[in-house]
Structures are given as structure tokens and as C-alpha cells.
Chains A and B, each alone.
Chain A
Amino acid sequence: DVKVTQSSRYLVKRTGEKVFLECVQDMDHENMFWYRQDPGLGLRLIYFSYDVKMKEKGDIPEGYSVSREKKERFSLILESASTNQTSMYLCASSFSEGTYIQYFGAGTRLSVL
């Protein structure tokens, strides 16, 4: 079974803090993704990585950065957390060829106070 693990299920941070969300996959997938999920807005892509050290901006990259130093690990960084970044964050991974099915982690619910 594909496993995508997000390091935290719940996080509470203060405005202005630097926040790291970690994601690890065990299927040797080339692609990894960070999404933000808000009620009524569905999933919005923040960043996408197709290889180690490679990244592309998604639909809403402002206020976020990412790091992919190893194939299995993809980190989302909030340089200076703000209250409007309170949300559910979902990590996903997929192969670069074939069916393009994305496999998701359980999510991290982040509250910025």
C-alpha cells in the first residue's frame, strides 16, 4: 500500500512564527504536491515538485515556500505565519507517468493565532 505520512495532524502556531510541515512518501514517486483545503474552495495547489530540488508554483504560492532535498520528503514552509493561513494542508504524491493517481496523506490542520 502507498503510504504518505504527514508529520503532524494538528498544529497551533502564533502569528509571525516560521512553520514547517513535513511529508514523507514510501512509493518512490517522482511527484509530490502540497494543497490547501478550505470549505467551499476545494483543494488548491500551493506547490508541486517533480524531482529532487525541483519545484513549480501552484495556484496560491504566496506566503509559502517548499524544500525537496530527498526524493521521499517534501516540506512546506510558512516563512511568517499569518491568521489567513489557518487551514487544512494536504500532501500528495504520484508517479510522473501512467495513471497520474495522486495518493494523499491524512492532512495537517494548522491554526495560526
Chain B
Amino acid sequence: AQSVAQPEDQVNVAEGNPLTVKCTYSVSGNPYLFWYVQYPNRGLQFLLKYITGDNLVKGSYGFEAEFNKSQTSFHLKKPSALVSDSALYFCAVRPYRAGNMLTFGGGTRLMVKP
């Protein structure tokens, strides 16, 4: 069965510094990988996805993520954090040819301090 791990419950970073939110996965076959963001009292918003092709994927709001097959990771990154990036971030995986459901990680809270 597939699984997703987000090893950090919270990540703290100063505004202007680079940020990384970690995600590792375990699936059979080639995965579809996703990042979502949730702002307070809101639903999840899609940020970016990896399906195939270039291992570096660019998404909304200046975020990017790097797919690393050998390390089974899909870390979310941003070169310069903003206070408004403070939110809850979820990584999700869909195994290749495995239907319509996604498996989500437990979420990582990102706190960007001014």
C-alpha cells in the first residue's frame, strides 16, 4: 500500500530565507505526486504536481518541488519565504495506474517570521 511521510510537524523560517518542506513516499510503480496548501479556515489549494518529465516542478506562488526517485522524495522549496506563506502544507501521492484516490501525508505547518 502507498504511504506518504512528512517528517516535520512544523518548519520555522525567517522571511527572505529559503524554505524546504520535506516529503517522502512509498508506492509501487511510478507515482503521481502533489503538494497542496491550506490557509487558516480554508480548504486545500493545489500548488503543484509531478507526473513525468523534468524532476524540478514549478508551481503557484513561487513554489517548486524536486522529484528524487532514488530517495523517494518530493520536497517543496521556495527561494525566499514570505510571511504570507505561513500555512499548512500537505504532500499527496497517487500510484501510477492506481485509480482516482490520493494518499495524503500528515501535513507540515510552515511558520515564516518577519
Q: Which A residues fall within an 8 A CB radius of B?
A: 4, 9, 31, 33, 35, 40-43, 45, 48, 50, 58, 90, 92, 94, 96, 99-107
Contacts and interface: CB of A to CB of B under 8 A. Distances in A.
The B contact surface, by secondary structure, is: loop
Nearest to A99: B49
B43 interface: yes
Contacts of B45: 104
Contacts, number: 52
Interface residues of B, number: 22
A50 B16 CA distance: 43
B106 A41 contact: yes
B49 A104 contact: no
B9 A40 contact: yes
A43 B89 CA distance: 12
Contacts of A106: 41-43
A43 B90 contact: yes
A101 B9 contact: no
B46 A101 contact: yes
Nearest to A33: B101
Interface of B: 6, 9, 32, 34, 36, 41-46, 49, 51, 90, 94, 100-102, 104-107
B43 A94 contact: no
B82 to A, nearest CB: 22
A42 B100 contact: no
A103 B9 CA distance: 24
A31 B94 CA distance: 15
B105 to A, nearest CB: 6
B44 A48 contact: no
11 contacts: A4-B43, A40-B9, A43-B90, A48-B100, A90-B44, A99-B51, A100-B32, A100-B100, A101-B34, A105-B43, A106-B43
Nearest to B106: A42
A31 B100 contact: yes
Query: Looking at A4, A42, A90, A105, which has the most chain B CB atoms within 10 Å of its CB?
Result: A42
Given A99-B49, A103-B46, A107-B43, A45 B101 contact: yes
